[in-house]
Chain A
Amino acid sequence: MLDASEGYVTADGRKIGGVVMEMKNITLRFGGVVAIKEISFDIREGEIRAIIGPNGAGKSSMLNVISGFYVPQEGEVIFHGKKRPPMRPYEIAQQGIARTFQNIALFDGMSVLDNVMTGRLNYMKSNLFQQALWRGKAEAEETQNREIVEKVIDFLEIQHIRKTPVARLPYGLKKRVELARALAAEPKLLLLDEPMAGMNVEEKEDMCRFILDVNDEFGTTIALIEHDMGVVMDLSDRVVVMDYGKKIGDGTPDEVRNNQEVIDAYLGVSHD
């Protein structure tokens, strides 16, 4: 198992830094259902961290705990060295974490450009009155934010659908637009909930390329949930494996691959 105290260097030569976020004995319950049970792990700066597990293992709940949307009943989340208190929605949005959703959550009737612009909401400081007048600060702000959005559009190669309403796009492109919106927020930590679900091989390859490029180009820390094992093993630096709300494995893809408990969870064992 990797020594997590000092950071490490990956096989392809990327330097992974200190701990960004640490989960300490997290337990999350919905009424009587225990979704997550005493899980601890950390996410380090610059790494791609995968969370895997069979259906209903509690992966998406875990992601919601990381983003601060769910507050666990027990345990603490240490973010940037400080214990994170329960937050209001706007505080959640301002902490520098962006995400994509398992079921695409875009504004269907709006163009791609407008959708991606919504990712910049936290950076817009002008008030309604200034926006309405469209003078000075509001205009300058829009230009500034549009520039960043255009860079993201260029980065993800979606120039050709800039003005297309999202509802008219095929699934694979919608996923990419969602990623664009998350990137527009310039997050420190990017959460991807099943970024490849339902994609064909070519779309998956494109998405992998983009995720690696985001990590490489902007140094964004990425935590992702994914079912495609090939993708997870190729992309991620470290993997957490969950089953029935518990952590059953944690380590590099190779370590996890050879972990007997993980193999059992995926292939199934007879419960005698």
Chain B
Amino acid sequence: MGGDVKLAQTQSGAAGLQSLPALLQRNATQFADAPAYREKEFGIWQCWTWAEAEKEIEALALGLINLGVNEGDFVAIIGRNRPYLYWSMVAAQSVGAVPVPVYQDSVAEEMAYILGHCGARFVIAADQEQADKVIEIQDQLHQFEHLIYLDPRGMRKYDHHQLHEYSHVQNQGRAAYDEWITDLNERRSKLTYDSTCVMLYTSGTTGKPKGVVLSNRNVIESAKNASNFDKLGLNEDILSYLPMAWVGDFIFSIGQAYWCGFCVNCPESADTMMTDLREIGPTYFFAPPRVFETQLTNVMIRMEDAGAMKRKMFHRYLEHAKKVGGDILDGKPVSFMDRLKYKLGDLLVYGPLKDTLGFGRVRVGYTAGEAIGPEIFEFYRSLGINLKQLYGQTEATVFITVQPDGEVRADTVGVPAPDVEIKIDEKGEIHYRSPGTFVEYYNNPDSTASTKDPEGWVATGDAGFFEKDSGHLRIIDRAKDVGKMADGSMFAPKFVENKLKFFPDILEAVLFGNGKDSCVAFINIDLTAVGNWAERNNIAYASYQELAGHPRVLDTIQEHVEAVNRSVAEDDMLSGCQIQRFVVLHKELDADDGEMTRTRKVRRVIVEDKFSDIINAMYGGDAKVSTTTEVTYEDGRKGSISATLDIRDPAIMTVPSKMAAE
């Protein structure tokens, strides 16, 4: 099997593999009986081989032609990760159209903007919920014509002039095989390395989403380089659970899956992801830091509830893993006794734990999107999971830098990925140029010009530097977030926030202090962790708000903040970023309220603006603040919550050495 892969990969793009439909054809002949897609449905893993997947996609493509999809049309795809929707993307490409995956949790207005901006004529939606949103906004969409839905439940009573069931479109495609197959073949053969492969909307921490156009070259070259870098082959298994509209999922679940021919596994539902992860045991895994954080939090909570014997064993061996686990993974010299003890730990603790987490088979794991807390990162590595970091963005088709095996560290993001050039300008901002560099922002030449210069260099908006001795890139923060405090010392909010977020009780933290003489912070509690703690301590609460305002919760959080202050004080450069005052917010920061992006990054400016009354009260020295906040419910309705928040003053470490050093 390995030989086949090598053979396939030696045929470069020039040999006709210039599009994903072409790769699909290759896989359907060379790897015909290898599994291509799995999805758990009705409690059983259903499987499609490459040959079967190719037939399904062909039927859909014929059906799309039959419905009147033209070359160059945009086809929006909305829903959770399901094989059918991945097929939709490739079917759209096969007929010369451009797939536009849309975040499924977008509210109707966001969807209206995206569908209006690209002028999608066709929408493929997963179910009634998504279809309803499109129907709600269809009056604002001038070019929208047909909606295809996957799950027919609840759809029967709808007016079907513009609605089509997915399986019916496929059946019509099969029925019209003779009529359209020549057209389909012709359209497929027209696809080149320069044809548009996909358009992805960036969530954008500021402003309206922008449509990033990626060509087949971008996607296939990036997928190829990254697969070679990590020696991925036909036999990998991945679990596809991250939003389909996110570039990472597109590269892993389509780009690399098609290049290598490995199997994409889709969970049964969003809530079963952890169980499905365990059942599949992926060999190649990707997750944003939050997933790792949540898993670690859950493990720690469950260990609290475990028997004394187990708990003792767990902590004892974890301590040992912390000492030597990372070194063993990196192939560094470790004494025989330590190795022996680690082996025993693997048998008793690490092995079963990895299995429970679903990481029993992981060869390569990546985290990206945000900085991961070093403690979290090292926890997973010490267990023997080859978790690495990469740095990338949609405009680069993911990869800018990656960490090679054996050179993995928590505080850097690795060396430039294959074929990527990087330069750092005088202001410290990172620029890159690569085969993955995006074509343009759709219908937005101004933004394209301001991001990508004529020579193809793209500005990332992140500040960073290369470490002298290792050649690894270190990211400081978003270039625009790094600031100066009133006394001129550096203000890097991420640095402190990440330290706070390592505590299982803290879900999210936002630090303010740019241009001020002290720092203040917002904190979101983690309902799972704190709720569990409350239960064990017989603390009754009726709502998130009540729990977040409970004096004992505030005491606990204050202890965490003080611990972070102690740790921040040790860093000469950033000791000014200690938290002088903080509040525990009465609501979780949420993407529906615009406070976070859909990929769950905090939108600092919006949060600062929205909660300006609280920030003012904190700097004003008040002991309490009353506030009212507007919230948006999942169905788009608006409401408001009001609360009186206690402002706490944690202890600050004095840094006597600083003056002396200067």
Contact = CB atoms under 8 A, between A and B. Distances in A.
Nearest to B41: A154
B42 to A, nearest CB: 4
A32 interface: no
A255 interface: no
B658 interface: no
Contact of A159 (B153, B154, B269, B634): B269
Contact of B42 (A14, A154, A209): A154
A150 interface: yes
B64 to A, nearest CB: 27
A51 interface: no
Interface string A139-156: 000000011001101110
A95 B634 CA distance: 41
A217 B153 contact: yes
Interface residues of A, number: 21
A146 B43 CA distance: 9
Contact of B43 (A150, A155, A212): A150
Contacts of A157: 269
Given A147-B42, A150-B43, A151-B42, A159 B268 contact: yes
B105 to A, nearest CB: 15
A202 B41 CA distance: 26
A71 B56 CA distance: 56
A213 B153 contact: yes
A147 B44 CA distance: 10
A213 B634 CA distance: 20
B157 A160 contact: no
A119 to B, nearest CB: 16
B271 A160 contact: yes
A62 to B, nearest CB: 30
A216 interface: yes
A198 interface: no
A12 interface: yes
Contacts of A13: 157
Nearest to A153: B43
Contact of B269 (A14, A155, A160, A216): A160
A155 B41 CA distance: 11
Q: Chain A interface mostly helix, strand, loop or mixed?
A: helix
Nearest to B271: A160
B185 to A, nearest CB: 37
Nearest to A146: B43
Given A157-B269, A159-B272, A216 B156 contact: yes
A205 B42 CA distance: 24
Considering residues B43, B156, B157, B634, which has the most beta carbons from chain A within 10 angstroms of its beta carbon? B43
Contact of B154 (A146, A151, A216): A216
Nearest to B155: A216
A162 interface: yes
A203 to B, nearest CB: 13
A127 to B, nearest CB: 26
Interface string B243-286: 00000000000000000000000001101100100000000000
Contacts of A146: 43
A265 B27 CA distance: 71
Contacts of A209: 154
Nearest to B269: A159
A118 to B, nearest CB: 17
A151 B269 CA distance: 14
Contacts of A162: 43
A201 to B, nearest CB: 9
A150 B42 contact: yes
Given A150-B42, A151-B42, A154-B41, A159 B271 contact: yes
Considering residues A150, A160, A205, which has the most beta carbons from chain B within 10 angstroms of its beta carbon? A160
Contact of B157 (A147, A202, A216): A216
Contacts of B635: 205
A203 B425 CA distance: 53
Nearest to B270: A160
Nearest to B43: A150
B439 to A, nearest CB: 40
B93 to A, nearest CB: 30
Interface string A154-180: 110101101000000000000000000
A234 B153 CA distance: 20
A169 to B, nearest CB: 13
A155 B275 CA distance: 19
A53 to B, nearest CB: 30
Interface string B41-69: 11110000000000000000000000000
Interface string B132-173: 000000000000000000000110110000000000000000
A153 B271 CA distance: 13
Contacts of A212: 154
Nearest to A147: B42
Contacts of A155: 153
Contact of B275 (A12, A160, A213): A160
Contacts of A147: 42
A14 B41 CA distance: 30
A217 B154 CA distance: 7
Nearest to B273: A160
Considering residues B42, B44, B157, B269, which has the most beta carbons from chain A within 10 angstroms of its beta carbon? B42
Interface string A39-76: 00000000000000000000000000000000000000
A246 B188 CA distance: 72
B131 to A, nearest CB: 14
Interface in A14-58: 14
A154 B44 CA distance: 12
A156 to B, nearest CB: 11
A216 B44 CA distance: 26
Contacts of A159: 43, 268-269, 271-272
Interface in A205-238: 205, 209, 212-213, 216-217
A82 B89 CA distance: 56
B271 A12 contact: no
A114 to B, nearest CB: 13
Contacts of B42: 147, 150-151, 153-154
Contacts of A12: 157
Nearest to A150: B42
B176 to A, nearest CB: 30
Given A150-B42, A151-B42, A160 B272 contact: yes
Contacts of A217: 153-154
Contacts of A213: 153-154
A217 B151 CA distance: 12
Contacts of B157: 12-14, 216
A25 to B, nearest CB: 37
A9 B634 CA distance: 33
A192 B275 CA distance: 32
A217 to B, nearest CB: 6
Given A160-B275, A212-B154, 7 more contacts: A146-B43, A153-B42, A159-B272, A160-B268, A205-B635, A213-B153, A213-B154
27 contacts: A12-B157, A13-B157, A14-B157, A150-B42, A150-B44, A151-B42, A153-B42, A154-B41, A154-B42, A155-B153, A157-B269, A159-B43, A159-B269, A159-B272, A160-B268, A160-B272, A162-B43, A202-B634, A205-B635, A209-B154, A212-B154, A213-B153, A213-B154, A216-B154, A216-B156, A216-B157, A217-B154
Interface of B: 41-44, 153-154, 156-157, 268-269, 271-272, 275, 634-635
- Nearest first, the 8 A-B pairs at minimum CB distance are A160-B271, A150-B42, A160-B272, A150-B43, A159-B268, A159-B269, A159-B272, A213-B154
